[in-house]
Amino acid sequence: MGTSPAIDEADLHALVDNEISGEERRRVEDHLASCPEDAGLVDGWRRQNAALRAAFEPVAQERPPLSLRNAAQRNASTGAPPIESGAIHWGRPSSSTRTLRRFEEAPGGRSTQAIASTLGALLVGAAIAGAAVFVITRPDAAPPAPEPSYVERADLAYRTYASDPKPVEFEAAQKDELLSALRLRLGFARAPDLSTLDLKLLGARVAPGLRGPAGVLIYERGDSSARVALYYEKAELAGFPRVAPRVDQALTAIEWRAAGYDFVLIGPLGPESMQQAAERAAAEMLTVTPAQ
Amino acid sequence: MGDKEALFAEVEEATPALRRYARALCVTAGAIAADDLVQSAIDNAALGIRERRLREGGAARLCAYQALTAAAREELAGSESPKLSARHPAIVQGLASLPFEERAAILLVALEGFSYDVAAEIAATRREALVARLMRARAALSMLDLRPPAPSDGQRRAGSHLRLVK
């Protein structure tokens, strides 16, 4: 320690932490001016503080996940939220919210739409296959491994099925069959009732997920102007991707984890409507636990 | 009612900082575990507000920090010090190697900016003990080289693949 017996290490820490002021502060600062050894200690601690802030301040600048927004006030009236951890709004709402075509207004267009959808899927498939062949056969192939993301799978499922005139394998009217098919493939099935939010269940289908089968429940607005998909799959990946997944700009996606499953609600509604629907779906999904 | 709402707003405003503290405190446990603890801390503070145990300004925020620290202590008990990969900054690796109480002390003071008295209250200890933990934490982190690289170091590294051929 330094030359002045009146200044001890605790005084130096107190200076760094703004615990002293006035005459006491000046006394310690005068001491540092004449004691390079202690001045070096103080500089080092200040560098530590700056390094800590630099490492963790970005967390405070992030938008808190859905489950932590307004959490105190929300929980005050409803108890603990059903979303167990880190729900994330991946959505990037744009000014031009895309709405799906009103199906009942365009009955003649359904077959055209189906053909267009099929052709689109074939073209996308061919492009993916071509890209895969290119990547595999490239002599110095060392592609950067993209971070897998359930949200991108949900986005793909949405774009593949939601605009289809018959987007589901199992209609809502066959609810027992629907639930047993999902349960058989995913080990868990539940069809949340979102009718209070003007979202009617059309039905569900099993789709290829990221690491196994995924369940896709499709809902439609009462005026048939938009469809929303609730995608879920066993969560085998730890954590959420660090980089925001690529999602159609006109869609909002909300991802959360609960009971070992990853859930993604995706659709063209505004962020607030999607948030309400996600909260509702999360609550209903866990009314019966997956173990049951 | 107005007071209650002010306290809820206080927790809401503190949420980003609570996440920052939790992420640093649970540096070895990951972001999801940290956010889970923040959630439970917020629930705890909300309960205190509902039950009117918390009334004064600042009390809800303090309660959330206390609950978070206590929950993290319990959560991390017995699962300390897994090695972080080298891609983390030196300060983060150093933080991960600290005992829990020392980590909490330095984070409450240096990262969250609490006074010694308030930090001691959050960590449920005496002021003297908190200062001692803070001093030990700083001494341990002083072993790390946190100096910004000198320009000459950078030039040496950048040019190290070149060799004099003539």
ipTM: 0.84
Q: What's the mean pLDDT in A32-42?
A: 93
- Per the structure, the complete domain to which residue A247 belongs is given by 66-107+148-285
Specify whether A13 is located in the same domain as A92. no
Distances (CA, A) of A16 to A37, A41, B98, B120, B144: 15, 10, 20, 17, 18
Write out pLDDT tens, residues B45-61: 888 888 777 877 788 89
Scanning chain B, the segments in alpha helix (DSSP H) are 2-25, 31-50, 59-76, 90-96, 100-106, 116-122, 127-141, 151-158
Q: Please tell me which residue of chain B has the smallest CA distance to A8.
A: B135
Rounded CA-CA distance A88/A97 in Å is 20
From A158's Cα to the closest Cα of chain B, the distance in A is: 26
Residue A11 in this model has a pLDDT that exceeds 80:
yes
Res. B164: pLDDT tops 50? no
Interface of A with B (CB under 8 A): 9-10, 13-14, 17, 19, 41, 44-45, 47-49, 51-57, 59-62, 64-65, 67-73, 75-76, 80-81, 84-86, 238-240, 257
State how many domains chain A has. 2
A206 and A172 share one domain: yes
Chosen from B35, B47, B63, B134 to mutate, greatest number of chain A CBs within 10 A:
B35
**Is there a contact between A11 and A28 (Cβ–Cβ < 8 Å)?**
yes
**Under CATH, to which class is B2-145 assigned?**
mainly alpha
User: Do A40 and A180 sit in the same domain of this protein?
Assistant: no
The model's confidence at residue A77, banded by pLDDT at 50, 70 and 90, is low
**Structure token pair of residue A3:** 């030359």
- Report residue A248's pLDDT band, with 50, 70 and 90 as the boundaries: confident
Who contacts B161 (Cβ-Cβ below 8 Å, separation ≥6)? none
Q: What integer best gives the mean pLDDT of chain B?
A: 83
User: Residues with Cβ < 8 Å from B97, sequence gap 6 or more?
Assistant: B81, B140
Confidence of residue A125 (pLDDT cuts 50, 70, 90): low
Does the residue A124 lie in any domain?
no
Cα gap A71→B19, rounded to integer Å: 13
My answer on whether A42 and A88 are in the same domain is no
> What is the per-residue pLDDT for B108?
97
Min Cα–Cα distance to chain B from A138, Å: 29
Does the predicted model carry a pTM greater than 0.80? no
A173-182 long-range Cβ contacts below 8 angstroms, 24+ apart: A174/A203, A178/A203, A178/A204, A181/A206, A182/A206, A182/A215
Does A234 score more than 90 pLDDT?
Answer: no
Tell me, yes or no, whether A101 and A232 share the same domain: yes
Task: Name the residue type at position A6.
Answer: A
Q: What is the pLDDT of residue A277?
A: 87
Highest averaged pLDDT of the listed ranges A10-19, B8-17, B139-148, B153-162: A10-19
pLDDT (0 to 100) of residue B156: 43
Residue A49 φ/ψ, nearest 5 degrees: -60, -45
Query: d(Cα A85, Cα B52) in Å, to the nearest integer?
Result: 27
In terms of Cα–Cα distance, which of A170, A169, A189, A188 is closest to A179?
A189
What is the reported pLDDT for B30?
Answer: 83
Task: Please give the pLDDT value at position B105.
Answer: 97
Residue A132 forms part of a structural domain: no
Residue type, A111: S
Mean pLDDT of A94-104: 33
Same domain (yes/no): A96, A19: no
Domain ranges of chain B: 2-145
Q: How far is A12 from chain B (nearest CA, A)?
A: 10
Higher pLDDT, A84 or A17: A17
A206 plus A181 within the same structural domain: yes
Q: Comparing A35 with A125, which gets the higher pLDDT?
A: A35
Same domain for A242 and A175: yes
Nearest CA in chain A to B138: A45
* One domain for residues A51 and A176: no
| Statement to judge: residues A37 and A157 lie in one domain | no
Interface contact B16-A85, CB threshold 8 A:
no
Q: Are residues A30 and A154 in the same domain?
A: no
Q: What percent of chain A has pLDDT over 90?
A: 28
Domain match, A51 and A175 both: no
Burial, A43: exposed, middle or buried (Cβ in 10 Å; 0-12, 13-18, 19+)?
A: middle
Candidate from B16, B49, B106 with C-beta closest to A64: B16
Q: With cut-offs at 50, 70 and 90, classify the pLDDT of residue A100.
A: very low
Rg (CA), chain A: 27
CA distance B106 to B133: 8
